[in-house]
Structure 1
Amino acid sequence: MNGRIMIVEDERIVALDLRQTLESFGHEVVMVASSGERAVAEGPVLKPDLVLMDIHLDGPMDGTQAASILQQHNIPVLFLTAFAGQSMLDQAELSSPYGYLVKPVETRALQATVRMALARRRAEREIEKGEERLRLAMDVAGLGVWEWDAAAASFVGEGQFESIIGHTPTSLDNADSGFLSRIDPAYRPAIADALTRGEAVRTTVKLQTLPDSGRNGWVDFHARAFARPNGDLDRAIGVIRDVTAQREQEEHLRQAAVVFTSTGEGMAILDTQWRIISVNPAFVTLTGFGEQEVLGRTPDELLYARRHDDNLIAKLGQSGGDYWSGEVACICKDGSMLATWQHLCVVRDTQGQIGNYVLAISDTGALRRAEAQINHLAFHDTLTGLGNRNMLEDTIEKEIERADQNGSRVAVLFIDLDGFKLINDTMGHATGDQLLSMVAQRISRVLRRTDTAIRLGGDEFLVVVPEVTRFEDCASLAEKLLCEIRAAVELDHERFSVSASIGIAVYPDNAGDFSSLIQAADSAMYGAKERGRNRFAFYSSDMAERALERLHIEQGLLRAIANDQLMLQYQPVVRLDDGQLIGFEALIRWDEPTHGRIGPDRFIPVAEECGLIDYIGSWVLHTACTQAQAWIHQGFVDLRLAVNVSARQMNAGDFDVTVSDALALTGFPAAQLELEITESTLQAVDHSRQLLGRLKALGVRISIDDFGTGFSSLSRLKHLPIDRIKIDRSFVQDLPGDGNDAAITEAIIAMAGSLGLGLIAEGVETPAQQQFLLARGCTEAQGFLFSRPLDVADVDALIVSTARGRLS
């Protein structure tokens, strides 16, 4: 049978090969980990059927250490390593592995060993399930199992044994620490005699109180002894069950005192004339009336003197039976009111005649407090204590109604935190929750008593401001909120700061109902984000149109991904002097069935905001590398492929892993892949230098796209591992006529030459531009002068027709 397998191997190629091999056998590879620490962290969560573990791993924890920890979680480990020395075997043996294979291992041997290990694990699980069923059965039945091994002088107690007896004896005899000494002396001889003769013992015995435990009671005692051939005792085994409660119930079943003293409800026994003949202590505690004060009186006189409609006789008659239950307010002895739930029932004798009535009274004050707590939870956010969506709608509806009555305005401030997701993803949800709680406190500090703060969910907050007289007041409040929110805060010994974007909408100026008002504030918030974040914006109609378009694009992207509507085109890159084809830049396009082809300038910013860019960027990288590898096989062996990278992908932290995986899966040469990163991306990503270093270590090339538009510091650029810069089309389009563009372009070309960087110009559309760039030392270009972006079929034809010759 197939199993769920985790691979722990720090050599990626070996890990991928193992994964493909195991999946070809029909197994499910739940994870590939490259370190013992990762395996230990994820193993208890994933619970694989088997872990295939290399011993020598990167990091402080080797495979044997990780295996020992995984064994504690009942996760089996099979070693697959290149080392088979005696010391290594001794070390591996300590972790009790399911097997040990030495690399390289033949495929059939791997299959057989994995199957046997899985079979062993299934067998062990069946045993574990059986043992668990036995333990659960003993717990459910309240059984204690004991065994005395005379030869080993060992006494073992399992199940509920120790909880019943109070301790585990050291022997079976009458010694101070022996089991029989725990039994009342009156029962010992019969038990000892039966065990001596090897007969089964089935009886109920009384336990003797131990000075150190104070435990006493009754147990069902079942046991039998087994003798050796010479007649000496070999072992005895038995079962006990605590029946103390049963004995007590049998002895006191008909004694009302037990019922009275064992319940927390106030209880009163009434005669057929409704006079009280007995009450329990709880009745005295609840009502304050002593027992002697109530005997001979009716509950109507004591508890309902001011509430004649609470007459018990009438209520029981209305029920039409022998039972009535309901909520009643009682008057205690001290005059205070007590909210109670009362249950009245008739007690009949064997002839069916009424003998007594029983009245039970429960205090419902705790229930009322619980209801108040539930009501609070229904209208408040559990993390921050602010109001939630339920309170939001209730509050705005009330404020709109009040505004309509007195002719005032209601403002809604929609607050969305900038940069929170990065902190939450990087530092963990616990730190993110602390930050949200801190922001909620800061928002509350700024507000008036009449304002209401709401947490919508995630990092979105909303403030309802009633009785607005001037729009300037809303702007002032927004400025205070922005200032308060962006102040740095220290969490887990780290200093964090987030800004906010605030959208402001006012009723009735911007919307006429609850939903429209929230939607208007949301649109205004996105308007603030578009203007640079850390600011506020009032609602305007064009914001609504942009928000609606953004929503349509976001929803359309989800459908585009599901329906394979995204595609790539490839724009040729050529040498300027002879038009020689060098490679291609991969450009994403979206063919929307209704609106036709949508350019990346419209949907990529939305994809970055809603988090879809990670998937799209990975798809572009894999698709482009796969296609380019096919062109290499067609003969374009030194093809260069350029792929654009967004700031969101760079901020993910593991983008180098994504690139490495794409290269490994597609086989595309790393040296022929060029990642195009904009200047603004480098400025937005704090760890850009370290990330670019890891990317360069993979062998890929880095180019700066749209160079000259991001205001980069030259001192920053010279320390980054960059291979090429790309002159932005905005400087090329007016060449050679525009003097400013000509000067900037010449400066960029000179700087690239000084730094030893490659250079490419984009957007070349005229021979004059080509000649200007060529004359000043720019060697490569792309643009409509040479070719528009092409579909895959057109590139296939181009490669064949030009034989990698010139493009005119």
Structure 2
Amino acid sequence: MAKILLVEDEMVEAMNLKRSLQAMGYDVMAIASYGEEAIEKANTLKPDIILMDILLKGKMDGITAAQAISKHEIPVIYISALPDDATVNRALISAPYGYLVKPYDIRKLKISIEVALYKKQMENKLKQSQETYYQTIFENTGAATVIIEENKLISLVNMQFTSLTGYSKNEIEGKMEWTEIFSQEDISQMKEYHQLRRVNPDYAPRNYEARIVTRNGAVKPVHLTVAMIPGTEKSMASILDMTELRRSKMAIKESQERFKSIFENAAEAIILFDCQGNIVEFNGKFKETFGFKNGEIIGQNFVHMGSMMGMHNEESRKILNDLISGNELKQVEWILENKEGKKIIFRVRPSLIKTKTSVIGILLIMEDITELKNVENSLKYSLKEKEVLLREIHHRVKNNLQIISSLLSLQRLQVEDPQTADILWECQGRVRAMAMIHENIYQSQDIGRINFKNYVEMLLYDIFNL
């Protein structure tokens, strides 16, 4: 049975209408003659529908009373003897569920009431469905979400919010103020933003960071997105826990600092190019070696840098193209000039910085090997001198051994004593053996070893050809 509040200042007409409504099966809860009285009874009785006359006793008419009652979302049907456009248009502003002009047919009144009740029932179902839909979204946004009233009281939170703060829904909803969950340093800012947002949403930032204090006293950095709910003085805040992100950022920062330290303090000159060959960064050793300042070569292309260091442009372009294409990634040696024109020899180790799909940079590690090359050249010159000296010594030793052998041969031919001749012959053979050993040492690549096979073959050849 639908409950009706009847607002009519003519008591006779009101009683007749009450009997008619009761005969149709409705429960007439009360009759009000004044607008103020209608508002009071609507607040206390909460009827299903209100039949409202527009012309009432007192200062407030039915339209004004209906507008005041509208916050309770109770359907209102106007019953009036005023069919003029001005009154109708004014009544439409309060969004009534019907408008009947006196005198009216009772059957039409019943139809209007039933249509209004059905419409309200459908609205309630739709509202309930929407609330369920939005509640599901609210609970499953993936972020801690909270509804804040105008007085800063928290009216609704989702499960992520309780997990983030450690408080239960019963401890929060309708009991805690929005600012209570923040650290002492952030409370004044939260209060200021809360007030500014209700004066003008553009006055307060939509996204900002703060720190919340959990139930167990832990302080967590968070990122907030706060906006007003249209048509209300409520706001909704979405809160993301930044703790892990901060840790990740800190780890990345520490890694970058370690890399920067290694990069800056490397013993080799290091220079970094982008994938177009433009200089992005270089370390202190590079600056020290070449004497360039940041503004002189940062952003310059490899070809231009090459020309500043004594390279020909064509050579620089070929090197750059080879590096970008990955064709020339082996270790190379370059002779470059620093800012003062001094030539420096570098051992260059190029490498590509790339993702899975493309090259994003080129890294050159340049080791100054000028002193090493000077030492190497000095050693080569010294070895060449020693080689010349060894040739001269060999030549002189060979000549001296030949002279000794010849003298022994002449002496052997002049002696008549066979025993003495044999001794001289034996000495001459020994000298020849020494000469052969010396020859093998001279021709051998490793003077610590002699090819004994060659030595024996030469010795036998000389013996059989005497």
TM-score (structure 1 length as normaliser) = 0.20
Work out which of the two has the higher radius of gyration on C-alpha atoms and give 1 or 2: 2
TM-score (structure 2 length as normaliser) = 0.33
Of Structure 1 and Structure 2, the greater helix share is in 2
Q: Which has the higher contact order (CA 8 A, sep 6+)?
A: 2
